[in-house]
Amino acid sequence: MARKLKICVTDECVGDGLCVEEAPKTFEMNDDNLAVVKEGKIDDEETILNAAEACPTDAIVVTDEATGEQIFPEP
């Protein structure tokens, strides 16, 4: 079974929208042109991690919700 991911966008976001292009079901831009995580995210883990890797400032932090282990950026 897929692990449940906790996804955060930090204030390092520079608003280039790359994560929204990579994983549009998970991320969207807010009124301040910063990325936020959508409610009820449904992209798969690979897609979410691709989006996190595409972020130029490593503003997307992904952790395993069950264990608290940080998955990306690699600690």
Which residues here bind ligand SF4, judged by CB under 6 A?
Answer: 9, 13-19, 35, 54-57, 59-60
CB closer to ligand SF4, 35 vs 49: 35
Return the closest-CA partner of residue 16 out of 57, 48, 61, 49: 57
In the complex, minimum distance from the CB of residue 58 to ligand SF4, in angstroms, rounded to a whole number: 8
Q: CA 26, 16, 62, 58: dihedral to nearest 10 degrees?
A: 170
- Taking the mean position of all CA atoms in its chain, how far away is CA 2? 16
CB closer to ligand SF4, 57 vs 70: 57
CB closer to ligand SF4, 4 vs 24: 24
In the complex, minimum distance from the CB of residue 1 to ligand SF4, in angstroms, rounded to a whole number: 27
Separation of first and last alpha carbons in the chain? 24
In the complex, minimum distance from the CB of residue 16 to ligand SF4, in angstroms, rounded to a whole number: 4
Place of tokens 């996804």: 7
